[in-house]
A and B are shown apart, each in its own frame.
Chain A
Amino acid sequence: MTLADFLVMILLAAYPIGVAAALVARGALGRGLVAGFGLAGALAGVGLGAVCLGTGIVPTVATSFLPLTEFALRVDGLSAFFLVLVGVVGAAVTVYGFGYSAAYEGRYSLRLLGAMLNVLLLSLSVQVMADNALTFLMSWEAMSLSAYAMVLTEHDRPGTVRAAHWYIAVTHAGFVALLAMFLLLSAGDLSTSFAGMRSASLTPGTRDAAFTLALLGFGTKAGIAPLHVWLPMAHPVAPSHVSALMSGVVIKMGVYGLLRVTIDLLVGGPPWWGGLVLGVGTVSALLGVLYALMEHDLKRLLAYHSVENIGIIFIGIGAGLMFQSFGLPTLATLGIVAGMYHTINHACFKGLLFLGAGSVLHAVGTRNMEEMGGLIKRMPRTAFFFLLGSCAISALPPLNGFASEWLVFQALLGGSAIPQPEVAVVMPIAVAMLALTSGLAAACFVKAFGITFLAIPRSPRAEQAHEAPRSMQAGMATLAVACVALGLAPFAVVPLLGASLAGLGGVAPAAMEFTLALSLQVPGTSGQMSPPLLALGLVLGVALVPFVLRMLGADRRLRVGDTWGCGRIGQTPRMEYTATAFAEPLRRVFAELYRPTRDLSIDFHPDSKYFVQSIEYRSEIHPWIERLLYDWPLQGLHGAASWVRRLQGGSLHLYLFYLTLAFLILLTAARWWR
């Protein structure tokens, strides 16, 4: 039994034990066991992924499961990569959850939460290892369902149940698409094994249909626009460590599935596939960040950023697919690697941010940014981690967000290699949109961090905020370290990613010999950069400048005074710049998209209208695009439903009439059937 098999065993054993423990044990012990076994499983997953990536061996587990199929697991490079992703975030989340769920004692069912957390992790791990459709689909539904149960944890809060319903509805629609897709691919092969699908010969029409279904199914899970409606509803209401898991890992399964199907099972396709993915990605990135800007609910804001980052990932993958269809394997690999790199990066920093938001929620008790502020002094560590995450997601060097976005840019710049200019022109447009997205993301996180953590507390609750317990800090620290490491070592990560694509159709790892130099040189890219040296430079700069100043004898006195404000005395939170105000300029710029509804009510002093008693300003954004897309199907559904209801009108004669009518029709059919 090799090490890999051993790790598989551990992985498949630890999570179920965790579930059992959650159901049996109570209190701190229960939480401890849940976290412990979850952690064990997650680490086993990381180990397994690392081993497989390192040695390139492919462990296969198969046990007889159903006469017509079998329960099969197989770990290739892609699975290994996603195993690592699941494991890293999973480990952080389980540790964090130990402290976070303590607040739930006695209020909500911890048994369910703990059990479902382990079920979710298990299903995620199994899913990326699945080697046939049945295994994949079962773990897929297990994943959706456990997440659904956890979203419902705080079911007594307003909006939770509705959000959960939206989530399960959309995700099930996606599941249906996937079921059809896999059955199309298996082309009558009853074992529905992936191997069979690879070898199946399908008509172009079928392939296109399968791809479309895959994009729909995996898109709903990944939350690409316009299938993302459930995401900003469901992620915020879930317990924060679950949100981190959902936003960090669960939606990534959409990415995994898309990669698995398009480049592995279907081995690439016509250019419009890649073009579609690219376009969808661009739209999602932009819409996501734009709606995030207008959001004042910290967790909803993060959720919208998930949409944005999934968009960026899809941009990379879409570019890769296009290159692949034009027979440019090197660039194709580059694009896909860029997408995967951003996938794991987003998993880390978005997980980190959600955990941070969880600590804030834990301390302040609200998700509304307008009631926060000044937290950097009350919870410094959380603030630091959150700042790190913000820099990473804003793609600031030398953190990981920048590394992967740089790679995506490079992939898009390669677009000039596409022989048809009219097709290639989409690339620069994507470049521009991507740049705009990252700029807006930076703006959005200046808002998010600044309003939440800086300046004066805006509410008494924010004043009494306290630092999060150690376990939660540990969880955040793990991901923070991951962010920094992934940011500083692209020259080590990217080759691994390239290797993980080995053996998949249409991409050429052979062409991906990465020079393991400090500066990242990727064949096909038109530039180099070296995050570690950059970081070194920046650190040196920040460290040296004060030193130099001191040597030059600059003044070192420092006086603490009141904030200057045009001579007014004293400062109250009401004088601070609010999140709404911060976002106002951009709201005006994009008014066409937002279509905001404003109402401004001023009541004047009874004596003179030059004295204002109170001004009330309210402005709301309604995503009209979603209305456009979702209202008419729902209305159609209800119309059909109420029409069908009328059939059951209550009249016995009517019923007998149906019966006779059916009888006569069928008789006619039978009499003249040939």
Chain B
Amino acid sequence: MLLGPPLVGALLALGVRPYRRFVGWVNALLSLSSLGAALVLWSHLLAGRVLTSGPGEFLRADALSTLLAFCVSVVAALAAWLGPGMSRDDGYTDAEARRFRIFANLCAFAMLFAVTSNNVGFMWIAVEATTITSAMLIPLHVTKASVEASWKYILIGSVGIALAFGGTVLGYFDFVSLAGRQEAALNWTVLMASAPHLHPEVIQLAFVFILVGYGTKAGLAPMHTWLPDAHSEAPAALSAVMSGVMLAVALYAVIRWEAVVNASVGSGFTDGLYIALGVLSIAIASFSLVIQRNYKRMLAYSSIEHTGLICVGLALGPLGTFAAMLHLLNHTLAKSMMFFLAGRVLHRYGTTEIGRVSGLLKVMPWTGGLFAVGILAVIGLPPFGLFISEFALFRAGFAAGRPWLMGLVLALLAVAFVSMIGHLNRMLYGAPTPGVVVGEGNRWPLVPLAICVTALLVLGITLPPPLQALLRQIVEIVGP
């Protein structure tokens, strides 16, 4: 029910050629149904039941999976509603729209499968599949830049994922040399069960493979280099998907393995690695934001920054994990919205140069306003969700007795804050760029984005009990 809709959508888009717009509509409706399915999973969890299906618990949706599934289906729905092929004037040909529909749905399917599969092997396959499908979409308009970006993405991504496969093999090796070969050995449940007896030195090596591998996909420095290129060159909908959830899915894989490693060698090892990479990511991202001339790259770097922040949070004990997961949800909402808005701006101004975008508030009052609100949310100001999650994260850090680390991170975030708000001002005010049509244009795509903003506001004021319960369960799963 969760996995079905995207598959159907993809097959439909595959089957119908030339592209017709009803495909897009059907796809959008289907995406809603899979969102509903995610909510159903959620409700089951609140009732204390963990859904499994398939032979040998092939699929399994515990709290962590559900949170991710929810994020993925939300962003997939946004992409389905706002992506190419819904209206005539979105600047895409039918062929491009068709390609988008096919691969976007395949990508969504792969991500959903990755987060619900109970088997590390299949999870790896799914993540690799997300790389391939999303790479196919980057050069939707074939330009030198987009081809370059996609090549860098596919190569770095594939190498990283290959390493992750190595990590999987090593983990399996450890298990095998412990308990002999068996079919279900690659299942979480089994791995977790035998985790305490695994050999530290091997499992640590495995985790390095995993972290570097999936970390590449998650955009952790110094493996992040593909990310700004891909995000800035991809079509808006895809950027939203990649930045919003693909990073999150990669992190999900890391977290899964972290649980195993922690159960085996305690959390000290993973914490060290998390903090190292997380702080590095935040630092590089923040400083890259200072002199930044391209607003899509700006958003991309801010994604790196937030990924780093989540990593740091994961290293701060249960509270930190709680905050990190909350932050992951907030970031998904905010960042996907921002990329769609950036797409609107790009479509109107025809440039991604910050310097060439001016008077946004006059040109597109609503888009501009939402854009401003979104940036304020992304840089972590109240009353938006990211402020609360960041606050919780810092509180966890101080409670965990790491004031210096937190001070460093705070300073770096301040740098990012100042730079981004400066770029925002440059875009919002001033005289409209000559030759740009003034007027909002088609307004209805803003409705779903406004919903995102509302959600962020709600999360900034309060934490709904269901979400809270879910996060608590996740903290249980990830463990110490």
Contact = CB atoms under 8 A, between A and B. Distances in A.
B425 A663 contact: no
A429 interface: no
B179 interface: no
Interface in B393-422: 394-395, 397-399, 401, 403, 406-407, 410-411, 413-415, 417-418, 421-422
B160 interface: yes
Nearest to A661: B222
A192 B399 CA distance: 11
Given A642-B291, A645-B288, A670-B207, A662 B410 contact: no
A190 interface: yes
A644 B421 contact: no
Interface string B344-362: 0000000000000000000
B255 interface: no
B290 A637 contact: yes
Given A637-B290, A662-B222, A190 B205 contact: no
B79 interface: no
A663 B222 CA distance: 10
Nearest to B206: A670
B392 interface: yes
B55 to A, nearest CB: 35
A51 interface: no
Given A180-B407, A652-B151, A655-B152, A172 B418 contact: yes
A658 B425 contact: no
B58 interface: no
Given A164-B425, A666-B211, A666-B212, A68 B201 contact: no
The residue in A645, A654, A663 that gathers the most chain B C-beta atoms within 10 A of its C-beta is: A663
A574 B392 CA distance: 63
Given A168-B421, A661-B222, A188 B291 contact: no
The residue in B228, B394, B395 that gathers the most chain A C-beta atoms within 10 A of its C-beta is: B395
Nearest to B397: A183
Interface in B424-468: 425, 428-430, 461-463, 468
Given A141-B381, A659-B212, A648 B288 contact: yes
B156 interface: yes
A186 B398 contact: yes
Interface in B288-315: 288, 290-291
Interface in B259-300: 269, 272-273, 283-284, 287-288, 290-291
Contacts of A65: 461-462
A172 B208 CA distance: 37
Interface stretch (B40-48, B109-117, B129-137, B382-390): B382-390
Contacts of A643: 287
A558 interface: no
Give the secondary structure class of B's interface. Answer: helix
The residue in A67, A152, A642 that gathers the most chain B C-beta atoms within 10 A of its C-beta is: A67
Nearest to A644: B287
Interface in B48-103: none
A560 interface: no
Contacts of A666: 208, 211-212, 273
Interface string A375-417: 0000000000000000000000000000000000000000000
A67 B323 CA distance: 12
A659 B388 contact: no
B159 A161 contact: no
A663 B212 contact: yes
A67 B463 contact: yes
A137 B381 CA distance: 10
The residue in B207, B284, B399, B401 that gathers the most chain A C-beta atoms within 10 A of its C-beta is: B399
Given A137-B391, A172-B417, A670 B204 contact: yes
Give the secondary structure class of A's interface. Answer: helix
Contacts of B422: 165, 169
A165 B222 contact: no
A134 B269 CA distance: 32
A673 B151 CA distance: 36
Contacts of A586: none
B376 interface: yes
A652 to B, nearest CB: 5
B387 A141 contact: yes
A558 B208 CA distance: 97
B163 interface: yes
Contacts of B207: 670
B425 A161 contact: yes
A138 interface: yes
Interface string B154-193: 0110011001000000000000000000000000000000
B156 A659 contact: yes
Given A138-B382, A161-B425, A673-B204, A658 B225 contact: yes
Interface of B: 151-152, 155-156, 159-160, 163, 201, 204-205, 207-208, 211-212, 216, 222-223, 225-226, 228, 269, 272-273, 283-284, 287-288, 290-291, 319, 376, 381-383, 387-388, 391-392, 394-395, 397-399, 401, 403, 406-407, 410-411, 413-415, 417-418, 421-422, 425, 428-430, 461-463, 468
30 contacts: A66-B462, A67-B468, A68-B392, A68-B395, A145-B381, A145-B382, A152-B425, A152-B429, A155-B429, A165-B421, A172-B414, A179-B394, A179-B410, A180-B406, A183-B394, A640-B290, A641-B290, A642-B291, A647-B222, A652-B156, A654-B225, A655-B152, A655-B156, A656-B159, A658-B222, A659-B212, A662-B223, A666-B273, A669-B273, A671-B204
Minimum-distance CB pairs A-B, first 5: A641-B290, A655-B225, A644-B287, A183-B398, A658-B222
Given A644-B283, A645-B287, 15 more contacts: A134-B391, A137-B382, A152-B429, A156-B429, A161-B429, A165-B421, A168-B418, A179-B391, A652-B155, A655-B226, A656-B159, A659-B156, A659-B159, A663-B208, A670-B269
